[in-house]
Structure 1
Amino acid sequence: MKKALLALLVLVVLAAAAAGGWYLRRERLVSEFATAPVTLPAQGVTLTVPTGTGPKTLARMLADAGIVTDPELLYLYIRREQAGPRLKAGEYLFEGTLTPAQVVEQLASGKVKLYRFTVPEGLRVEEILPILASSELKLDLKELERLAADRAFPRTAGVPTPSLEGFLYPDTYAFTRNATAEQVLTKMVQRSLEEYRKADAQRKSGVKLSLLETFTLASIVEKETGQPQERPRISCVFHNRLRQGIKLQTDPTVIYAMKLLRGVYSKNITRRDLETPHPYNTYTTAGLPPGPIASPGAAALQAALHPLECDDLFFVSRNDGTHIFCPTLECHEAAVRKWQVEFFRNKRRQQRTGGAH
C-alpha cells in the first residue's frame, strides 16, 4: 500500500513538474512573441474593429490582416495582461514596425485612425464646403449645403446669426471616419468661437464691437491683406473711419454684395458695382455690413479687437500684397496716382513694347 502511495506521489510530482515546465515554456513563447517586431507595408494596414468584438476574434482579425503573426499567442498575451476589457472598437491604422504588445496598447488606448483636412483663411462658406466633401471623410456635399442653408442650424451651433458665413474657422481638422456633417460644422464653429474668446481677452480699451461685428470686421481685414504685419494697421483704418462716420469703402464687400445680387462671384469691380446699393456694399452703405464676408483667422480676429494706434484713414495697394497708408485725402490721392494709375499705365506700356524700356 505504501509503495502504491509513493508511486502515486511520484507521478503527481512529475506531472506538476511537467505542467510547470509547459507553463514556463508557454510564458516564454508569449513573452518572445509579444516583443517580436513585425514590419508592416509602407502604406500601413487599416483595420476596423466592430463593437462587441471579443479578444479571440480580434486576435484572428489581426493575424488575418498581417498585423501579428500568431493569433493563439496574441490571445494568450491579451489574457495574461488582462487587456480584454480595455480593448476599444473603432477604425485603426497600424504603421511602421510594431510589436504585438504595441498593437494591443494602441487598441487599448483607443488611438483610432483620423482623417484630416485643411481650410485656408479668407474663404466663403460656398468655398469651404467642397473642401470638406472632397476630403477623406467623404462628407455629403448636399447635406453640408442643406445644413448651411438651414437658418436654424447656425444658431444651434452657437452662431449669433442665421448664417455660417465667417464662422467656419480656417484650420487643420482631424476626425474619425464616422464623423457627421453636423459634427464637423459644429466643431468648426466652436473653433471660431474659441479663437474669438482668445482675441476678446486681449481686447483693446475702447473697442466696443459685438461678437458678430468682430467677425464682420475681421473678415474684411482678412480679405484686404495677406500680410500679417499689416492687419492691425488696416484694422486701425477701419476703426478710424467708423468712429468718424466715414464709409468703409472696401472692395471685398462690394464683390460679396455683387455675388449675393447676381449669384456669380467675380473679382472684377465696375463703377456700376460701386454705385449699386446693397447692405454689404460699403461704398453705398455706412458702417459695417450685416455680417462677415469670409472666414477670418486668428490674426484677423485679434486685429479687429486690438487695432494699431494710427491716424490713417486710407490705404492703397502697392500691387505686391502690401499697402501704402495715408492719414489725409491728399496723401491718398497721390498714392492712387502712383500705385494705381501710373503703375498700371506703365505695365500696359511695357506689355505693348515687350518689356523694353
Structure 2
Amino acid sequence: MWRSIASNALTLFIVLLIALAGAIAWGKREYVAEGPLEQAICLRVPSGSTMRRVSEDLAAQGAVSYPSIFRVGADYSDRSTELKAGSFLVPENASMEEIVDIVTRGGASTCGTEVVYRIGVNRALMQVRELDPATGTYVEAAEFQPGEAGEEGDTVPEPYTRVRGEAETRYRVLVAEGTTVWRVVESLKEADFLTGTLAPEDTPLEGMIAPDSYEVTEGADMADLVARMRALQQQRLDTVWAQRREGLPFETPEEMLTLASIIEKETGVPEERRQVASVFENRLRQGMRLQTDPTVIYGVTDGRGVLGRGLRQSELQSNSPYNTYVVEGLPPGPIANPGLASLEAAINPDTTPYLFFVADGSGGHAFAETLAEHNENVARWRAIEAQQQQANQ
C-alpha cells in the first residue's frame, strides 16, 4: 500500500511540476507577447508609486491583461525597485516587458505636460502643451506673456498653475535667433519656474548666448542656465572658427561673431544667409561702408527693446560707432545673438558679385551688383510698400 501511495504521490508531483512548468512558460509568453492596448496612452507614475499600483493602473487602461504577470516579470528581471516617477508614453500593443522597460529606464518623461518658454526678439511667451498619445503631437493648453495681466487681472492661466510642482512636468527654454542678451536676461527674470538671480559680472557680452532649446527642471538656477547658454555659444564659435576658409575680410572670432549677428538681423530666410554674407564681405574687401539699418538701430536702443519706428535722418547721420552709414568696417561688437547657421554663413559665404540688397516684398531680398540695379530694386520695393499701405487703409 505504501508503495502505491508513494507511486501516486510521485505521479501527482510530476503532474504538478509539468503544470507549473506550463504555467511558467505561458506566463513568459504573455509577458513578452504583444499587448492588448489598442491606442497609445500616457501613463502617469506619481512619486512614491509601486509596481502593484502601476500594474493596476495599466490594467484599468487596457494596457495589460494580467497585472500579476506584469509584477512577477518585473520582479524576475530585478526591475521592481527601479520604478521612475513621471509621465510615459506607452505605445499601442506594447508588451508587458516593453512597458516595464519604459517605466524603469529613467530619463525625462516621454509624454504628459511640457512648459515651453519662448524668448523671441520682441517678447517672451509661455506655452503649456500636453501630448496627445493617440497622435503623438502636442496640443496647446494655454499661452500667455509672463507679467502681463489678462482681461480679468489674472496673469497666469489655470493650466499653468495646475501643472506647476508636478514631478512629471517638463520645462524648456527656447531662445530665438536674433535676440539680444538684454532681452534674454530680462525674459528669464520673468520665468517663475527658475530661481536665483544673475550677477552683473555673470551677464554674457552681446552675442554670447546661443539660440537653442534648453531643457531645465523646475527650480533650476537662472545663473546656471545662462552659463550653459554662454558655454554653448563659445563652443560654436570655436568650432566654426576652426572651419573658416582662407581670405576672409576679418581676422578674429569676435569679428566673425559681429558679422554673423548682422547677417542674422538682416534676413529671416535661411537660404539667403550666405548671399547676405557675400554682400557684406564684398563691401569689406572693397572698403565700402556696410550701410545696414540693424546696426544703427542697435546704437539707438543699446539692444534694449524694439525701436518701434523708422530711423530718423539724425540717427543715420550720427557719429555712433554702430552707425555703419558713417563708420567704416564692422561695428565694435555684435548687435544680437546669432544662430549657428549665421556663424557658418559668415565663414563660408556664397561667391557673388553682389554689393547691394533690398526687400523684394516676398519676405526675401533682391540682390544687385551695381547701384543702378539696386536703385531699380528699391523703386520696386517702394511701389510694393505703397500698395500695402493703401490695402491697409
CA distance in 1 between partners of 2:53 and 2:272 (Å): 60
Structure 2 partner of 1:298: 340
Secondary structure of the 2:109 match is coil
Matched, 1:223 2:265: yes
Structure 1 partner of 2:189: 142
Question: How far did 1:271 drift?
Answer: 1.4
Structure 2 partner of 1:157: none
CA contact (8 A) 1:217 1:304 kept: yes
Question: How far did 1:94 drift?
Answer: 2.1
Structure 1 partner of 2:64: 68
Q: 2:243 aligns with which of 195, 202, 210?
A: 202
Q: 2:367 aligns with which of 324, 343, 348?
A: 324
CA distance in 1 between partners of 2:336 and 2:384 (Å): 33
CA contact (8 A) 1:221 1:234 kept: yes
Question: How far did 1:163 drift?
Answer: 3.5
* 1:337-352 pair list within 5 angstroms: 337-341=375-379, 343-344=381-382, 348=386
CA distance in 2 between partners of 1:64 and 1:195 (Å): 49
Report the count of equivalent residues.
329
Q: Which structure would you say has the larger Rg? A: 1
Structure 1 residues 78-87 or 93-102, which shifts more?
Answer: 78-87
Deviations 1:281-300 (A, max 9, x none): 33344443344333333332
**TM-score scaled by structure 1?**
0.71
Question: How far did 1:244 drift?
Answer: 5.2
Structure 2 partner of 1:24: 22
CA distance in 1 between partners of 2:43 and 2:386 (Å): 57
Secondary structure of the 1:46 match is strand
Root mean square deviation, CA, Å: 4.1
Structure 1 partner of 2:36: 38
Q: 1:186 to 1:346 in 2, by over 3 A?
A: closer
Structure 2 partner of 1:258: 300
**TM-score scaled by structure 2?**
0.66
CA distance in 2 between partners of 1:5 and 1:153 (Å): 89
Matched, 1:102 2:143: no
Structure 1 residues 226-235 or 94-103, which shifts more?
Answer: 226-235
Deviations 1:5-31 (A, max 9, x none): 662464254235324413422441452
Q: 1:186 to 1:267 in 2, by over 3 A?
A: farther
Question: How far did 1:269 drift?
Answer: 2.0
CA contact (8 A) 2:172 2:214 kept: no
CA distance in 1 between partners of 2:367 and 2:87 (Å): 53
Question: How far did 1:49 drift?
Answer: 5.5
Ranges in structure 2 where 5+ consecutive residues have no aligned partner: 130-170, 174-186
* Relative contact order higher in (CA < 8 Å, ≥ 6 apart): 1
CA contact (8 A) 1:93 1:112 kept: no
CA distance in 1 between partners of 2:225 and 2:351 (Å): 38
Question: How far did 1:75 drift?
Answer: 0.7
Ranges in structure 1 where 5+ consecutive residues have no aligned partner: 155-161
CA distance in 2 between partners of 1:143 and 1:56 (Å): 41
CA distance in 2 between partners of 1:305 and 1:244 (Å): 18
